[in-house]
Amino acid sequence: MYKILIADKLSQKGIDLINSTEGFEAVVKTGISEEELSSIIGDYDGLIVRSATQLTEKVLENPGRLKGVARAGVGVDNINIPEATRKGVLVMNTPGGNTLSAAEHTMALMLSLSRNVVPACVKMKSGGWDRKLYVGNQLNNKVLGVIGLGRIGMAVIRMAAGFNMKIVGYDPFSIPTQAENFGVEITDSLEEIYKKADFITMHIPRNKNTENLISKEQLEMMKPTARIVNCARGGIINENDLYDALENNVIAGAALDVYNEEPPENRRFENLDNCLVTPHLGASTEEAQIGVALEAAEVLMDSIKGGPIKNAINAPAVSESAPKIIKSYSELARKVGRLMNVLKAGRIKKVVLEYRGTIANEDVTPLKTSFSIGLLQPNFDVQVNIVNAGFLARERGISIDEVKNEDCTNFSSCFTAKVSTEIGNYSVTGTLFDDNIMKIVSINGYETEFTPAGLIMLALYRDRPGVIGSIGTACGKYDINIGTMSVGRKDGKAMMALSLDQNLGKEAQGALDEVDSVEKYTVCDFD
């Protein structure tokens, strides 16, 4: 039974989906401390969080059986991604599920702020009636500066265009083509936005580049009538500087949904008349919560079952639609990596992967990852997987180059790994017969032909009469049954590949050591 921990408030529909899926069980424990979470996390196969739970380095220290974390939402700034990657824990999110809710909340904040909806309501509910004090401004014809033209930024633009706002957009990485359809003026200068805009809204992740993006200097560039909305992340606007700017009427107002610290210990913004606050409600609609809960449960369960990986933050996904040939070659690449691990001696300096034949026309990214998993796993305590394979290789200074060539002499496709170490050069080539039967066809230039499964013994010897018989006798003497045999010859030497029913014990190894002409032998366990 796979156990999934739900650590934040999640729609019941997501919990029900997990409990109604065979082999899965959901355990809900919300609001637990960092200590408690770090002590229990390793008992679960999967974890679902929203923004409240902090997955710190400490929490991820002993991930035990944890395979994946699904963030039921977009922002993953509460998850230590490098640490999750290092520990081989897959992190996924549910982009798109709360886009409209966050965009609508942004519009709600913008409208409420410009029409004084909240203070007017509070006043009236306390018996007042003041029509002069709460005169506001229209959105019509006002300049809206949108920082970040991703899903939410673009949804806000579509809505704001309906209010006939003039939109100026900034995004250093992506300019969606639809931006033009809504008459968005694209700028590459944030300063232009600060100086020109009547309303400013941001829809960007919080990271090292965006922290304190708007501080005193930027606030002072804005019009005194400007209003700013933060429905993205606390800390993108420097809170101290914003507080001072609002208190001193440097700008006209601000609406905040998100804070540096949540819930904020210092509640000072609540005391400012020109500041509207909501407690991180951007994604809090029934519709969004059902959507993200179901999607988080689905992507997490799929990944745990070894199915397709979707919405991965820290892993190149083998897309569901990847051609069958790539899925099959991916498995072969892992076996080639496994074989290379036992074949090579010394520290790896360089790896070159060659994709020949028809696979050269495909996206071969999964093959590189799978090869790295096969090559590295035997040397690691942590589980090497699609998440951390590339990271671990890079961390050990292993550079992996790739070569594609449509020509392939003997097969429709083949995959070759060449490894250079401080001691020597090694190569293994594999192919698929009939597109699904895996075969290793060459090792260090020796032709061979065996299926990479179970135990395979490779023996290199001087090519002279009687050696094959002696090796067979040495195995037979200690009850080691040989299944298949293949021999390749080159330059007076031969490489024998034998499939064995049992591994070599000490006595069998001793007998093989006695066989004259055998230079070396090794056993690879492919299972």
Ligand X SMILES: O=C(O)C(=O)COP(=O)(O)O
Ligand Y SMILES: NC(=O)C1=CN([C@@H]2O[C@H](COP(=O)(O)OP(=O)(O)OC[C@H]3O[C@@H](n4cnc5c(N)ncnc54)[C@H](O)[C@@H]3O)[C@@H](O)[C@H]2O)C=CC1
Cβ 63 to ligand Y shortest distance, Å: 25
Question: Exactly one of 75, 88, 253, 357 binds ligand X (CB under 6 A); which one?
Answer: 75
- Helical ranges in 146-204 per DSSP H: 151-162, 178-181, 190-196
Gap between the Cα atoms of 454 and 443, Å rounded: 18
Establish if 91 lies at the interface with ligand X (CB under 6 A). Answer: no
Contact pattern for ligand Y over residues 264 through 303, marking x by CB under 6 A: ----------------x-xx--------------------
Active site residue ranges:
233, 262, 280
CA–chain centroid gap for 346, Å, is 32
Largest CA distance in the chain: 109
Establish if 205 lies at the interface with ligand Y (CB under 6 A). Answer: yes
- In terms of Cβ atoms closer than 10 Å to its own Cβ (0-12, 13-18, 19+), residue 284 is middle
User: Which of these segments, 173-181, 280-288, 396-404, 409-417, binds ligand X (CB under 6 A)?
Assistant: 280-288
173 binds, among ligand X, ligand Y, none (CB under 5 to 8 A by kind): ligand Y
Establish if 209 lies at the interface with ligand Y (CB under 6 A). Answer: yes
Cβ 50 to ligand X shortest distance, Å: 3
Establish if 257 lies at the interface with ligand Y (CB under 6 A). Answer: yes
Cβ 77 to ligand X shortest distance, Å: 8
Gap between the Cα atoms of 375 and 524, Å rounded: 12
Establish if 233 lies at the interface with ligand Y (CB under 6 A). Answer: yes
17 binds, among ligand Y, ligand X, none (CB under 5 to 8 A by kind): none
Establish if 448 lies at the interface with ligand Y (CB under 6 A). Answer: no
* Strand, coil or helix: 32: coil
Which residue is closest to ligand X by CB? 73
Residue 93 CB neighbours (<10 A):
23
Nearer to ligand Y, 63 or 169 (CB): 169
Establish if 303 lies at the interface with ligand X (CB under 6 A). Answer: no
Establish if 260 lies at the interface with ligand X (CB under 6 A). Answer: no
CB 458 within 8 A of CB 524: yes
Cβ 153 to ligand Y shortest distance, Å: 6
Establish if 98 lies at the interface with ligand Y (CB under 6 A). Answer: yes
- Whole-number Cα distances in Å, 235 to 12, 192, 215, 222, 451: 31, 22, 10, 19, 56
Question: Exactly one of 50, 196, 334, 335 binds ligand X (CB under 6 A); which one?
Answer: 50
Residues 139-178 contacting ligand Y, CB under 6 A? 147-153, 170-174
Question: Exactly one of 46, 63, 73, 291 binds ligand X (CB under 6 A); which one?
Answer: 73
Gap between the Cα atoms of 439 and 436, Å rounded: 9
Kindly give the interhelix angle for 117-125 and 99-114, rounded to the nearest 10 degrees: 70
The percent of the chain in helix, strand and coil, each rounded to the nearest 5, is: 35, 25, 40
The residue to which tokens 């020796």 are assigned:
446
Query: Can you read off the two tokens belonging to residue 375?
Result: 């090559």
50 binds, among ligand Y, ligand X, none (CB under 5 to 8 A by kind): ligand X
3-class secondary structure per residue, 504-515: CCHHHHHHHHHC
Establish if 48 lies at the interface with ligand X (CB under 6 A). Answer: no
Establish if 201 lies at the interface with ligand X (CB under 6 A). Answer: no
Gap between the Cα atoms of 325 and 358, Å rounded: 9
What residue ranges bind ligand X (CB under 6 A)?
A: 50-51, 73-75, 98, 280, 282-284
What residue ranges bind ligand Y (CB under 6 A)?
A: 73-75, 95, 98-99, 102, 147-153, 170-174, 203-205, 209-210, 231-233, 257-258, 280, 282-283
